[in-house]
Structure 1
Amino acid sequence: MQPSTEANKLNFTTSPNQFYTWHNYRCAYEIYQPNHSTPEGISLLLIHPIGVGLSRQFWRRFCGEWYTTGHSNPIYNPDLLGCGESDMPHVAYTPKDWAKQLHYFLQTVVQKPAIVVVQGGLLPVALELVQKEANLIAGLILVGPPAWAVTTKKLPEWQQKLLWNLLDSPFGNAFYRYARTPSFLRSFSNRQLFASADTVDAEWLNTLVKGAENIANRYAVFSFLAGFWRQDYSSYIASIKQPTLVVVGETASSISQEGKQETPDERLADYLAYLPQGRGIKLLGRNVLPYESTTEFVAAIAPFINEFS
């Protein structure tokens, strides 16, 4: 179910775009808070997915629904380097790089314990972040995590470099220009992200098209496609001491070949078998639950977050 965008606009305020400097790069973020009450409760730190045109705007619908339903937690919503309004250097990004950026953000901007909410294939960034900063992470919500076979299988380094070099070329440049067209974005969203084509709406497509206007966004996308995030993270997951909620779509799928045979129930069971303080839930939807099933997603995670208040 999609919430009313107009109603959401009345229930929260967001800071003007704010920036901080990390390793001489300018990084963007915004802070959400309820419009008619004082922010209270534990803070949320959102980690957006990587993809053509994706940025912190991915979370805007979720933030609106969070406050529409009466919650008042402050929400910190940063743009990862290479995305949105953050700088976009021509580098190959790894989960460790983005985790270092968020570690600095936690220490200098948030400055208090938060629940990390991470979408999809950016799970490795959250796992690397927990390794660096346990004290400022009170809990985690893993939304639509990758198939277990993908999360626990290292892609050979030579293969990662080969894919990066192939993409970081005139061929990759041409591919990205095609991939940011509305027709491709709609087709990909229908095939890989959403359970229903009806939910691939104009708001989603317009946000992606606008986010992909800066061609330099391709470096973050190519880094993800090259598989620099493909490592064996099973020991990292098993070492998480914080309470962790895993949220999986009832029709969750995997783009990677290794995970195509896995059912959503199997995915959930595999993660929970390793997480010391894990719990899980399935929701109507596929792979982008905070956007596709916003109302259900908010209702599902609220009890977990309220336990920290």
Structure 2
Amino acid sequence: MITQDKLASSTQFYTWHNYYCAYEVYNPSNSTPTGIHLLLIHPIGVGLSRQFWQRFCREWYQQGNSNQIYNPDLLGCGESEKPHVACTPTDWAEQLQHFLQTVVQKPVVVVVQGALFAVAIELVKKEPNLIAGLVLATPPAWPLIKKEAPEWQKKGVWNFLNSPLGNLFYRYARREKFLRDFSTKQLFESADDIDSEWLDTLRKGAEDITSRYAVFSFLAGFWLKDYSSAVVSIQQPTLVVIGEKVSSISQEGKKLTADEWLADYLTALPQGRGKKVPGRNILPYESTTEFVNTISPFINEIDSD
């Protein structure tokens, strides 16, 4: 079995817009990397960073895959710099574009969790030649993809959160009870899967209070714009993976079944495919084995083209 220690590599850094940004590169322990590279885009939330993907990476190599994996921290998260700014999907996409151009320098399959699909969309628009395919783990319900939140509303929420009240809220939200309750209500299918590894990772990630700015950027809804035409324009092969018990935090999509959730994307994506796996909303973590089983043939197929 591949342990955390065997998987871990040293944190490396690059500079983007004078900010230092962190990443790790993973390779199979007993062989030379082969196949197309993977670029992982972690979700944004209290305590979340590239550490979200640790379980996925271990399982990826445990199942015999040998692709090199690039796992960056987005600006404001993990070990990357945490400036007091509001970040948009375009900002994070530009960060990853620079990362692809200067560090990776080869085509990748992007594996992205949840609403950070908005970042992947912007990245595909900016750097299509370096994106060979995409894997979407529980992307937002289609009604949210089409939702255009007004700029005044986004800025208003940001300004409210970017206040002493927002500071207090973040300190409250990083308590274990809040993290466990939120994970139970919104993320995991089974409360039994909310283990110490998950909670410890979130607590550690939220220790730096300046990590709140990235979270507030997400909560302000800067990712809420009508991306429907951009999705329709994605020419890369795209695999959409949905949990059988998928649910929407927002009112939009609350009544959708997993089949309906998938059907919306398969109608929109020119080269879309869809799969359901056991689990709810964070499949790379709660249903890691099934998720890896599902996406590895798709990635190998892209690699062989």
CA-CA distance at 1:10 after TM superposition: 7.5
Contact 2:25 2:68 in 1 (8 A): yes
Structure 2 residue aligned with 1:172: 166
- SS of alignment partner, residue 275 of structure 2: strand
Write the distance in 1 (CA, Å) between the matches of 2:177 and 2:139.
Answer: 26
Indicate how the Cα distance of structure 1 residues 78 and 280 shifts in structure 2: closer, same or farther if over 3 A, else same.
same
1:275 lines up with 2:283 in the alignment? no
Structure 1 residue aligned with 2:62: 68
* One-letter identity of the residue aligned with 2:98: Y
CA-CA distance at 1:213 after TM superposition: 0.3
* One-letter identity of the residue aligned with 1:167: L
Q: What are the within-5 Å matches in structure 2 for residues 1-309 of structure 1?
A: 7-9=1-3, 13-309=7-303
Contact 1:248 1:268 in 2 (8 A): yes
Q: Percent identity?
A: 69
* One-letter identity of the residue aligned with 2:260: E
Indicate how the Cα distance of structure 1 residues 10 and 211 shifts in structure 2: closer, same or farther if over 3 A, else same.
closer
* One-letter identity of the residue aligned with 1:175: F
Contact 2:239 2:274 in 1 (8 A): yes
Write the distance in 2 (CA, Å) between the matches of 1:206 and 1:8.
Answer: 20
Write the distance in 1 (CA, Å) between the matches of 2:50 and 2:191.
Answer: 23
CA-CA distance at 1:11 after TM superposition: 9.3
Contact 1:139 1:242 in 2 (8 A): yes
CA-CA distance at 1:13 after TM superposition: 3.8
Contact 1:140 1:244 in 2 (8 A): yes
Contact 1:11 1:68 in 2 (8 A): no
Q: TM-score, normalising length from structure 1?
A: 0.97
- SS of alignment partner, residue 259 of structure 1: coil
CA-CA distance at 1:156 after TM superposition: 1.0
CA-CA distance at 1:14 after TM superposition: 3.9
Question: 1:88-124: CA deviations, max 9, x gaps?
Answer: 0000110000000000000111100000000001010
Question: 1:272-305: CA deviations, max 9, x gaps?
Answer: 1010000000010000000000000000001001
Question: 1:157-184: CA deviations, max 9, x gaps?
Answer: 1111111111111111000000000010
Question: 1:183-222: CA deviations, max 9, x gaps?
Answer: 1000000000000000000000000000000000100000
- SS of alignment partner, residue 129 of structure 2: coil
Contact 1:11 1:35 in 2 (8 A): no
* One-letter identity of the residue aligned with 1:17: T
Write the distance in 2 (CA, Å) between the matches of 1:14 and 1:113.
Answer: 23
Write the distance in 2 (CA, Å) between the matches of 1:16 and 1:86.
Answer: 14
Indicate how the Cα distance of structure 1 residues 13 and 196 shifts in structure 2: closer, same or farther if over 3 A, else same.
closer
Is the deviation greater in 235-244 or in 259-268? 259-268
Question: 1:116-141: CA deviations, max 9, x gaps?
Answer: 00000101000000000010000000
CA-CA distance at 1:9 after TM superposition: 1.3
Write the distance in 2 (CA, Å) between the matches of 1:264 and 1:231.
Answer: 23
Structure 2: give runs of 5+ residues left out of the alignment: none
CA-CA distance at 1:261 after TM superposition: 1.6
Contact 1:143 1:248 in 2 (8 A): yes
* One-letter identity of the residue aligned with 2:165: F
CA-CA distance at 1:8 after TM superposition: 2.4
Write the distance in 1 (CA, Å) between the matches of 2:230 and 2:302.
Answer: 23
Q: TM-score, normalising length from structure 2?
A: 0.98
Is the deviation greater in 255-264 or in 239-248? 255-264
Say how many residue pairs are matched.
303
Structure 1: give runs of 5+ residues left out of the alignment: 1-6
* One-letter identity of the residue aligned with 1:185: L
